[in-house]
């Protein structure tokens, strides 16, 4: 059975030392509704090795990352191949699909004289009348 547990932790400074504080959902938030300042991470195990991945600066981002990682681990445990969601280094060079579609529509919506030869003066039903 695969390890599907994903925990949210905060890396914060307590007594001049960096500490990991687990966020246990409602139980921890009811006892102390104000979260300590720090960066949110998610902790999970890949095989037998523990992993820590930065999850964002707010609790909402961390909860979304936790759900995403739980679903990824569950899919991997069932044998699915999960593609990496890493952003390529040259992401600025890549075109977004919507930009390409807009450019294509703008290109085909321009009047083209080759298509509208019937409207050109001097042509009558496809026969030149000079």
Tell me, yes or no, whether 55 lies in a domain. yes
Tell me, yes or no, whether 84 lies in a domain. no
CA proximity to 7, closest of 84, 61, 70, 56? 70
Q: Are residues 11 and 72 in the same domain?
A: yes
Q: Are residues 70 and 103 in the same domain?
A: no
Q: Are residues 14 and 66 in the same domain?
A: yes
Q: Is 73 helix (H, G, I), strand (E, B) or coil?
A: helix
| pLDDT on residue 26 | 58
- Among 12-16, 28-32, 59-63, 102-106, the least confident range: 28-32
Convert 86-113 to b/e letters by CB count within 10 Å (16 or more is b): eeeeeeeeeeeeeeeeeeeeeeeeeeee
The conformational region for residue 73 under phi > 0 = left, psi -120 to 50 = alpha, else beta, is alpha
Q: Are residues 67 and 105 in the same domain?
A: no
Determine the Cα–Cα distance for residues 61 and 86; give it in Å rounded to an integer: 17
Mean pLDDT of all residues belonging to the chain:
76
| pLDDT on residue 3 | 80
When comparing pLDDT for 86 and 116, which is higher? 86
Averaged pLDDT, 83-87: 69
Whether the CB-CB separation of 72 and 82 falls below 8 Å is answered with yes
User: What domain range includes position 27?
Assistant: 7-77
Question: What global pTM score does this model have?
Answer: 0.58
Q: Provide the number of structural domains found in the chain.
A: 2
Q: Are residues 71 and 37 in the same domain?
A: yes
Q: Are residues 18 and 53 in the same domain?
A: yes
């Amino acid at each position: 059975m695969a390890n599907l547990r994903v925990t949210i932790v905060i890396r914060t400074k307590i007594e001049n030392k960096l500490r990991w504080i687990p966020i246990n959902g409602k139980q921890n938030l009811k006892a102390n509704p104000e979260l300590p300042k720090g960066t949110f991470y998610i902790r999970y195990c890949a095989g037998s090795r523990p992993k820590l991945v930065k999850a964002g600066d707010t609790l909402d981002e961390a909860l979304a990352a936790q759900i995403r990682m739980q679903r990824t681990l569950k899919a991997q445990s069932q044998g699915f191949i999960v593609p990496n969601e890493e952003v390529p280094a040259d992401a600025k060079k890549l075109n977004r699909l919507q930009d390409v579609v807009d450019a294509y529509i703008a290109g085909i919506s321009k009047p083209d004289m080759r298509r509208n030869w019937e409207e050109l003066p001097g042509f009558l039903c496809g026969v030149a009348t000079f």
